[in-house]
């Protein structure tokens, strides 16, 4: 008898299926254009599924690797290491993420005519 899949593995497969569904939907909708209003809505839904599936799948793969890394386990056992890990996460969220969002906004504004 086959071993049962864990809940984490099932979620990972679901995320990649959403990604592939969105990717396939975009390919089909781009190759068969339609002037109707529903075509734009379906294209937006497919693009959101593609983005959500890709981000979720990669985040879950990162978490799986993170849990198995012996260096990270050593940091979690040490209180000072965990404190510095939290400080680094806060600095990245407060400092780097807003700058990256502003850069993306600036870049997209220069793409417009």
pLDDT of residue 8: 79
DSSP assignment, residue 33? -
How confident is the model at residue 19, as a pLDDT? 92
Task: State yes or no: pLDDT of 60 exceeds 90.
Answer: no
DSSP 8-class letter at 25: H
CB-based burial label for 65 (10 Å; 0-12, 13-18, 19+) = exposed
The predicted-structure confidence for 22-37, as pLDDT tens digits, reads as follows 999 888 888 887 777 7
In whole angstroms, give the CA distance from residue 23 to residue 103: 26
Q: What is this structure's pTM?
A: 0.59
Distance, in Å, from the CA atom of 11 to the CA atom of 49, rounded to the nearest integer, reads: 15
**Any idea where the domains of the chain sit in the sequence?**
1-68, 71-113
Residue 2: pLDDT band (50, 70, 90) is low
Residue 62 has pLDDT above 60, yes or no: yes
- Round to whole Å and give the CA distance between 52 and 100: 19
């Amino acid at each position: 008898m086959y071993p049962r899949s864990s809940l984490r593995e099932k979620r990972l497969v679901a995320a990649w299926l959403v990604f592939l569904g969105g990717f396939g939907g975009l390919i089909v909708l781009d190759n068969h254009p339609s002037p109707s209003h529903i075509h734009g809505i379906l294209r937006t839904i497919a693009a959101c599924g593609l983005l959500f599936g890709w981000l979720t799948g990669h985040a879950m793969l990162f978490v799986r690797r993170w849990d198995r890394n012996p260096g990270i386990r050593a940091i979690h056992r040490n209180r000072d290491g965990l404190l510095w890990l939290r400080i680094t996460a806060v600095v990245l969220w407060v400092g780097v993420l807003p700058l990256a969002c502003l850069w993306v906004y600036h870049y997209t504004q220069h793409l417009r005519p």
